[in-house]
Structure 1
Amino acid sequence: MSKELKPSSMKVQEFLSKNGQDFVVQEMPSSTRTASDAAASIGCTVAQIAKSLIFKHGETGEAVLVVASGSNMVCADKVRKATGITLTKADANFVREKVGYAIGGVPPVAHNSSVHTILDEDLNQYSEIWAAAGTPNSVFKLNPQKLSELTQGQWIDLAK
């Protein structure tokens, strides 16, 4: 773990600090781009990875953040039934434009603009979870309650 953070990770660290959190963004020596990579790098289970997925709102075209357990696939049907939001695929350009990060490093916080956030209730079973922190090899540890507070997300059953 290096002490020097890249600008994208520093943006996340600054957001956390400004919001009264003592979470520490860590640059890992190996990839955290996928949930499997992140779990292997960190030494936790894949399910403890809080993967941030950006979708496009089918009706408004706005960004929707889904923070899912690393072991779950998102069921768009369950999301639509619980929230009324139809999720459509977002490409890399859309993700970078709307939230300010590249796919594989999207954090659940510190976005360019506010995003509607949906949280996977399966994350609540863990006392500690890990989220991306702006780059494909940076992460920070938190708990589900803090994830909820920081994102103002809606908890739903969203796993396929």
Structure 2
Amino acid sequence: MPVMNAPSTPSVEPRSEGFDRVRAALRERDHAHEPLWLTTSARSAQEAADALGVSLGQIAKSVVFRCKADDTAVLVIAAGDRRVDERKLQVYTGPLGRADADFVKARTGFSIGGVSPLGFAPADAGAGPRLFIDDSLFRFDVIWAAAGHPNGVFQMTPQQLVGLTGAPVIEVMQS
């Protein structure tokens, strides 16, 4: 499905380390769409939707939690118009706590507002975050996720997101 009000064109020069990692990860996986560099920041799902001219739900927002049992990061990719129900998520993860900006950066390699579902930096502790995809994204033909920087985004289908990440699809949105 074509995007109305197409955003800025793809960047030919790297804009940030995180953006470069995501671009490389997409190329490694032969993804059809290069990440785009927006002329405005898209730190929130609403800002991204406005910049792209799409509905809020089409933004695949990244929500990071801190697993209390082992201090690992848990990353949920969810529709921008929905809220994660921590109680539902804890069925899969155990008790969760809030993740501050330093924790998010250390565990994903991205700053809040640019956390991508792929292209994680190697963490000091080893593995990247535990990743889940909420089924609320499957309402849409086309979705957009952060590409490693608040100005970076990339396009895909929900099915492509599953293929790119290998993450399980679960239902964890508030009713």
**TM bucket normalised to smaller:** over 0.9
Distance 1:44 1:66 in 2: 21
Q: Secondary structure of 2:51's partner? A: helix
Report what 2:15 is aligned to. Answer: 6
| 2:25 partner letter | F
Moved over 4 A (4+): none
Q: 2:88 and 2:161 mapped to 1: Cα distance?
A: 21
Deviation at 1:5, TM superposition (A): 3.1
Aligned pairs for 1:24-103 within 5 A = 24-81=34-91, 83-103=92-112
Amino acid at match of 1:108: P
Could you tell me which amino acid in structure 1 is paired with residue 46 of structure 2? S
Equivalent pairs, count: 159
Deviations 1:56-98 (A, max 9, x none): 11211111111011011110001123x1432211111111111
Whether contact under 8 Å (2:67, 2:93) holds in the other structure is no
Matches within 5 A, 1:81-160: 81=91, 83-112=92-121, 113-160=127-174
Q: Deviations over 1:93-151 (max 9, x none)?
A: 11111110100000010112432111110101111100000111110001111111122
The secondary structure found in structure 2 opposite 1:16 is helix
Q: What SS does the corresponding residue of 1:72 show, helix, strand or coil?
A: coil
TM-score scaled by structure 2? 0.86
Give me the whole-angstrom Cα distance separating, in 2, the residues matched to 1:41 and 1:84.
34
CA distance in 2, matches of 1:43, 1:142: 15
In 1, the alpha carbon distance for the partners of 2:77 and 2:147 equals 13
Aligned-pair identity (%): 33
How far is the alpha carbon of 1:22 from its aligned partner? 2.1
| Structure 1 residues not aligned, in runs of 5+ | none
State the distance in 1 between where 2:72 and 2:62 align: 16
TM-score by length of 1: 0.94
- Structure 2: distance between partners of 1:143 and 1:72: 18
- Where structure 2 has 5 or more consecutive residues not aligned to the other structure, the ranges are 1-7, 122-126
User: How far, CA to CA, are the matches of 2:96 and 2:78 in structure 1?
Assistant: 14
2:3 match: none
For the 8 Å contact 1:32–1:38, the answer to whether it is kept is yes
